[in-house]
Amino acid sequence: MIGAIKELAEEWLRLDRDATTREQIYQLLVNNEQEELERRLAPRIAFGTAGLRGPMKAGFACLNSLTVIQASQGLAAYLLDTETNVHHRGVVIGRDARHNSDKFAKLTAAAFAAKGIKVWWFEQPVHTPFVPFGVSELGAVAGVMITASHNPAQDNGYKVYWSNGCQIIPPHDAGIAASILRNLEPVTWDTSVVDEGNLLVESTYGLVRDAYFRAVSAGARSVEPADAEKHPTRVSDISFVYTPMHGVGLPYMTKAVRGLGLEENMVVVPEQADPDPDFPTVRFPNPEERGALDLAIKTADAHSIQLVIASDPDADRLAVVEKVEDEWHQLTGNQLGILLASHIFDTWRHLHSEIEKLAMLASTVSSQMLAVMAKTEGFHFEETLTGFKWLGNMALKLDERGFDSRFAFEEAIGYMIPGVVKDKDAISAAAVFLTAVARWRDGEGLTPWTKLQQLYGKYGHFEDANTYLVSPSRAVTDAVFADIRKLGTPHPTHLGKRKILRWRDLTEGYDSATEDHKPVLPVSKDSQMITCELEGQVRFTARGSGTEPKLKLYIECRAGSSAEARKGANEVLEDLLEEWFKPAHYGLRPA
């Protein structure tokens, strides 16, 4: 093993021309730091449906200049093998404001230009949805966004979009990964193609910006961009606090709310307004994390404002907090998703007669309340696997079948307005939300919170008990799920006092509810995911995270009151921890 690691280190030193990362590996090799070299060099950082994401350190196992170049060369070669007119259609490249994002984006551009492929270059930091929108708007063959979303400051990532404006799905991920391994020798490190100009690199921000905001304006009223002028999106005055959480969201949110006539009503959290890759005021730059919105709430209290909205650093996720009487309530991702869906349904049906043509989507780990709403109101609902790569691609398929896909959401505060972009987008979702807030207030005398209670009264109360367990390793996670499957044949029949009414295992490919016992959703032996429906209107999904060392639990109960629903969800959580996941036994660490 020592010899193998030494060979990897020497190969790194041969290939790497970034002085900083080259020196890191050189010093580790000189000092014979075997364990750290092993962590840095093996295994190679894996390319999957999320692209690449990891800590910015030297080594093949991390994200750095060399692994970015190698990924770009592999992607370029794969595109040339699988797509048509690649050189002319080109690739859209964007980046956020994280450490090294600018450098990584320029190296990406250099790699594509070296293959003779046109580069549509965004000359300033952008929010992530701007890249897939640009792919669709420009007819590009693919898009690359350098971002790690809401990860810690030491991380970065390489996110790939296909020519349909969606995140890549199988088999492209495996195809790109294999192509990377065939193209490891760097062809160029020369970023002057961006810095000094090159005929293959075209500055593109202005070409895309206006079209994007026209689409945002149209999406706020559930109309086509061509009809936007007939349905203006200017709304009544609503005061709110906004935080971009040290990310790139402020200029995009400002322009979006200007289109609604609300720019003067937006108070920005000053300490978090400008991009800062160190995220100095938050422990984790994720609006879902405890304490992340404390400064925003403090700002709202200082201005006597009742509403806070927040985006994560790359502005693709949206969070909302509302002051109800004297207490601040942060809407869960499921709650905000249902509020947005209800507004889109109400506005869509006033403009269209065929309700059955409307389609909305949610991932399998998200609330079933949207499915109940769809069944009650008569529109089409579709469930997908976790992730907007699946939601976006399914929305396209539904549109091809004659549906009108208008909304999709996931419980992790992600919301997609398909008429704008086939990916989650905090900016377009915020425009829809603020339009909805004005309509609820002016037309119904309701706030978001009271509107939510109205929806619960109509469709039932849905409460969740979502959490996660930190796993020591992938092997431990696999062992936990293997032991659960052994609790019954062909599957366990009970959890606690509740009977299991449906068992769906997307790892093993079994669904007790289908005629042939085969799941409708895609099966993957490489990931762990089990969904159960229990007596008492409880449903849960347990899955191993694909990007973190976590085992995630999503539990939801439907009942006649919030208290009853919350009680049911918490009881199932307790049963899962006691009977199936046994943290002490397996060495799992609770959230």
Question: In which band, very low, low, confident or very high, does the pLDDT at 228 lie, cut at 50, 70 and 90?
Answer: low
- At 432-473, the pLDDT tens digits run 999 999 999 999 999 999 999 999 999 999 999 999 999 999
Pick the CATH number of 463-590 from 3.30.310.50, 3.40.1390.10, 3.40.50.300, 2.40.50.140: 3.30.310.50
Whether omega for the bond prior to residue 490 falls within 30 degrees of 0, making it cis, is yes
Looking at the DSSP assignment, which residues form a beta bridge with residue 120? 92, 202
Question: Phi, psi at residue 3, to the nearest 5°?
Answer: -65, -40
Superfamily grouping for domain 43-187+198-203: Alpha-D-Glucose-1,6-Bisphosphate, subunit A, domain 3 (3.40.120.10)
Hey, what CATH topology would domain 210-456 get?
A: Alpha-D-Glucose-1,6-Bisphosphate; Chain A, domain 3 (3.40.120)
- In this model, does residue 224 exceed pLDDT 60? no
Query: Can you spell out the DSSP letters for 70-124?
Result: HHHHHHHHHHHHHSSSHHHH-EEEEE-SSTTHHHHHHHHHHHHHHTT--EEE-SS
Question: Phi, psi at residue 571, to the nearest 5°?
Answer: -65, -40
Average pLDDT over residues 363-378: 97
pLDDT recorded at residue 230: 59
pLDDT recorded at residue 235: 77
Strands 240-243 and 307-311: parallel
Question: In which band, very low, low, confident or very high, does the pLDDT at 233 lie, cut at 50, 70 and 90?
Answer: low
Average pLDDT over residues 331-348: 97
Looking at the DSSP assignment, which residues form a beta bridge with residue 510? 505
Average pLDDT over residues 364-374: 97
* Fold match flag (210-456 vs 463-590): no
- In this model, does residue 392 exceed pLDDT 90? yes
CB 115 within 8 A of CB 193: no
Cα–Cα distance for residue pair 59/153, rounded to 1 Å: 18
Cα–Cα distance for residue pair 158/136, rounded to 1 Å: 19
- In this model, does residue 225 exceed pLDDT 70? no
Looking at the DSSP assignment, which residues form a beta bridge with residue 503? 532
518-525, long-range: CB within 8 Å, 24+ apart, which pairs?
Answer: 521/364, 521/383, 521/384, 521/385, 522/170, 522/385
Query: Can you spell out the DSSP letters for 437-463?
Result: HHHIIIII---HHHHHHHHHHHH-EEE
- In this model, does residue 565 exceed pLDDT 90? yes
pLDDT recorded at residue 231: 56
Cα–Cα distance for residue pair 446/460, rounded to 1 Å: 19
Strands 266-268 and 240-243: parallel
DSSP letter at 515? Answer: T
The pLDDT > 70 percentage for the chain reads 97
CB 498 within 8 A of CB 568: no
Strands 380-384 and 467-470: unpaired
- At 308-326, the pLDDT tens digits run 999 999 999 999 999 999 9
The token pair at 60 is 């093949």
Average pLDDT over residues 338-365: 95
Q: Is 149 a catalytic residue?
A: yes
Sequence length of the chain is 591
Q: Which residues, including other chains, have CB under 8 Å from residue 120's CB and lie 6 or more apart?
A: 90, 91, 92, 93, 134, 138, 140, 202, 204
Average pLDDT over residues 33-56: 93
Q: Which uninterrupted H or E stretch holds 404?
A: strand 404-410
Average pLDDT over residues 38-59: 93
pLDDT recorded at residue 227: 55
pLDDT recorded at residue 188: 97
Q: Round to the nearest angstrom and report the end-to-end CA distance of the chain.
A: 35
Average pLDDT over residues 219-230: 64
Marked catalytic residue, from 65, 72, 136, 149: 149
pLDDT recorded at residue 547: 67
Highest mean pLDDT among 373-377, 521-525, 543-547: 373-377
CB 21 within 8 A of CB 66: yes
pLDDT recorded at residue 1: 43
Cα–Cα distance for residue pair 45/125, rounded to 1 Å: 25
**Number of C-beta neighbours around residue 549 at 10 A:** 16
Average pLDDT over residues 114-135: 98
Average pLDDT, the chain: 95
Nearest to 68 by CA among 102, 37, 24, 29: 102
DSSP letter at 509? Answer: T
pLDDT recorded at residue 575: 97
The token pair at 418 is 């398909």
Per-domain boundaries in the chain: 43-187+198-203, 210-456, 463-590
pLDDT recorded at residue 272: 98
Strands 529-534 and 550-559: unpaired
Distance of alpha carbon 13 from its chain centroid, rounded?
A: 35
Q: What is the dihedral of CA 468, 469, 472, 473, to 10 degrees?
A: -40
| Cα→Cα distances 480→484, 538, 544, 570, 591, Å | 6, 22, 10, 21, 17
